[in-house]
Structure 1
Amino acid sequence: MDSGGGTIQTRATRKRRKMQRVTMMDVAKLAQVSPSTVSLYLRKPDAVSPAAGQDIARAIDTLGYVPNLVAGGLAAASSRVVSIIVPSIRNAFFAETVSTLQSALAAEGLQVLLGHSEYGEGQEEALVRTALSWAPAAVVLTGLNHSPETRKLLKASRVPVVEMWEIGGEPIDMAVGFSHPQVGASAAGHLLSKGRRNLVFLGARMDEDRRAAQRASGFAEAGKGGGAPICEIINHPGAATVEAGALLLNRALQQAPDLDGIACSNDLIALGVLFECQRRGIAIPERVALIGFGDLDFSTSCVPSLTTIRPSGDLIGKEVARLILARIQEPHAEDARRVIDTSHVLIERRST
């Protein structure tokens, strides 16, 4: 009887420890020093002996410990903050998602702490460290691609994590989004259905923007599979802007002068292509069919109106908020839908 009870208690203890944050006590135990020495090291590293400092630093790295900057009675306040990290605050796609997410969380008394990584893994890691130091109620990241250290920190923190705007890999915790290769394939399939065979995908910062690169890859695979004799991918190293669209079209015409179908990594680039085609006297869609991504506000009012793919950024925000609120209400519950596919919609307009 005692043995059975002991087993149950051990399992419960293990489960409870699994859900808890790594603490200063854990670091002290692994480094074989006192908690006060760890505290001193965190405040004044030079005040601790070099040997002890090395042991503490090694323990911090092994455990993925992040100091909690919220002390005492303020700890409860930190649980009402959700950290959201996006690649760019200038990107209208993410703005829609963050706005929807913020409204849904605010209705439940949660506040948003927003950071942007400029598509850099190192910057994202720094933002995650800062966020975790304030003991957030949840952390929301963009995409599934992060540095190994970022993944390690988040897993060790036991904080609910939602990765948004992408599915297709193994999430740290939960994920809400859509398949970017499928978006690219939809764009290629649409152009092929219109009789276009010489296809080009125009994108920007695709060496950093992994999701845009995935759309390009899906486009190229579907285009070649559909029998397109030409299917080029052209990348601009700078930001995805209207100006970049004009530059990319000029390069595309040099590399594939017979092109008759263009897909762009976002609507801003597509608008730049549209303007440059008008400047050059290239008729859209008669000479070149054009498709964007994002369904930004101007896509319905430009001339011709822009065929585009809508990623449902507002739906992503709603589903992320739902997962966070459910986890806060039931911390130990496992959501049966850890990965939610919000899909995408191709909206055909005059440009194709």
Structure 2
Amino acid sequence: MKSKKMKSEGTVAPTLEDVAREAGLSPMTVSRALNNPKIVRPMTVARVMLAVEKTGYIPNMLAGGLASRRSKLIAVVVPQINNNMFVDTIQAISDTLAQRGYHMLLCVGGYDSDGEAALVATLLSRKPDGIVLTGIHHAPALKKRLINAALPVVEIWDLTPTPIDMLVGFSHEKVGRLSARYLLGKGYRRFGLLWTADQRALIRKQGVVDMLQSHVGCWFVEVKVGLPATMRLGRDGMQALLARAPELDAIICSSDTLAQGAILEAQSQGISVPQQLAVMGFGDLDFAACHLPSITTVAIDRWRLGQEAATMLADKIEGMTLSEPLRDLGFWLCERQSA
């Protein structure tokens, strides 16, 4: 009687036996209905699920007796959740995984490789079926841990011929080169670079710099801003660039968000975009096409990136053979009014 009182007061979590008692079934039948419902009659499964709902029982998905030994949990590590660049990709991963019967555990790793390594170590103790990592620049200890865990891993938003396991992304260096080549082709020669300091953005910037330095008569100045990129930082960065070099004729930004702020700051100073100053972004975020002026940028299929990553991961978890573990989704130029 004492144990029943404790349960009614909510001090003891309901057990499998409680569910069996509520359903009027044996614990073995309840276990089968929860862990392998395909071999149990639908009416019995429904009876068990009703008892689960009434008792508030939480199945232990990591129990050693599970037929599949799977947690049905996928850990997705992104540097930020307040960055619009990742929103579509995260949603696509979640939706695609849900269709395959998996659940997404979203984690914020920041831009510090040691912090990411510590987070992943904690995640591995939760026994996920797979992990999605953002980028390819990880601490050596993290790579070693994942390889030893023999866990399916997909890296996204970057490109390398030597991923940890699988990869879906694009070349940030080539994005930078395309941006600079486009503006050079338009006749611009005096550049301002407005950039955040994350690893992938810096690779894009190096692509820009390589192109500019190969053209005689070009020069550039740069301003670094903090993370995450915001419209306010875009305005502040543009103000700093114009104070250093008021004769600039083109600005390349590491994101559309910074480009939006840069345009607003230019307009507030009476500088016409693009008549007096061209501004270019990156990412083709939702507002870029409808901004005034609309923002010239480089687009990535962020939704497809998430779909591909989730599909590759689920396929490998389920034992399917992947024809290509490395997928370059590419990118394209969106020529609009700002440049």
TM-score (norm 1): 0.76
Q: Which residue of 2 aligns with 1:272?
A: 261
Tell me whether 1:94 sits opposite 2:86 in the alignment: yes
CA distance in 2 between partners of 1:157 and 1:228 (Å): 53
Tell me how large the CA RMSD over aligned residues is.
1.7
Q: Which residue of 1 aligns with 2:97?
A: 105
Q: Which residue of 2 aligns with 1:63?
A: none
Which runs of 5 or more residues in structure 2 are unaligned?
1-60
Tell me whether 1:348 sits opposite 2:313 in the alignment: no
| Identity within the alignment, % | 37
Segment of structure 1 superposing worse, 98-107 or 119-128: 119-128
Displacement of 1:232 after TM fit? 2.8
Displacement of 1:175 after TM fit? 0.8
Residue 181 (structure 2) aligned to one of 183, 189, 212: 189
Deviations 1:77-116 (A, max 9, x none): 7531111000001111211101011111100101001101
Displacement of 1:228 after TM fit? 4.8
Distance 1:77 1:98, change over 3 A: farther
Residue 71 (structure 2) aligned to one of 47, 68, 79: 79
Q: Which residue of 1 aligns with 2:307?
A: 318
Q: Which residue of 2 aligns with 1:249?
A: 238
Displacement of 1:270 after TM fit? 0.5
Q: Which residue of 1 aligns with 2:274?
A: 285
Which runs of 5 or more residues in structure 1 are unaligned?
1-68
Distance 1:87 1:75, change over 3 A: farther
CA distance in 1 between partners of 2:179 and 2:113 (Å): 29
Deviations 1:205-252 (A, max 9, x none): x1xx10000011101111222335212332113431111111111221
Distance 1:228 1:97, change over 3 A: farther
Q: Please give the secondary structure, in 2, of the residue aligned with 1:232.
A: strand
Contact 2:83–2:228 (CA under 8 A) maintained in structure 1: no
- Residue-pair matches, total: 279
Q: Please give the secondary structure, in 1, of the residue aligned with 2:292.
A: coil
CA distance in 1 between partners of 2:217 and 2:66 (Å): 61
Displacement of 1:119 after TM fit? 1.1
Q: Which amino acid aligns with 1:323?
A: M
Q: Which amino acid aligns with 1:345?
A: W
Tell me whether 1:131 sits opposite 2:123 in the alignment: yes
Contact 1:84–1:112 (CA under 8 A) maintained in structure 2: yes
Q: Please give the secondary structure, in 1, of the residue aligned with 2:288.
A: helix
Q: Which residue of 1 aligns with 2:195?
A: 203
Q: Which of the pair has more CA radius of gyration?
A: 2
Segment of structure 1 superposing worse, 138-147 or 303-312: 303-312
Q: Please give the secondary structure, in 2, of the residue aligned with 1:297.
A: coil
Contact 1:82–1:137 (CA under 8 A) maintained in structure 2: yes
TM-score (norm 2): 0.78
Higher helix share goes to which structure?
A: 1
Q: Please give the secondary structure, in 2, of the residue aligned with 1:283.
A: coil
Q: Which residue of 2 aligns with 1:239?
A: 228
Deviations 1:101-160 (A, max 9, x none): 111110010100110112121221122112211211110000000111111110110000
Displacement of 1:178 after TM fit? 0.3
Q: Please give the secondary structure, in 2, of the residue aligned with 1:83.
A: strand
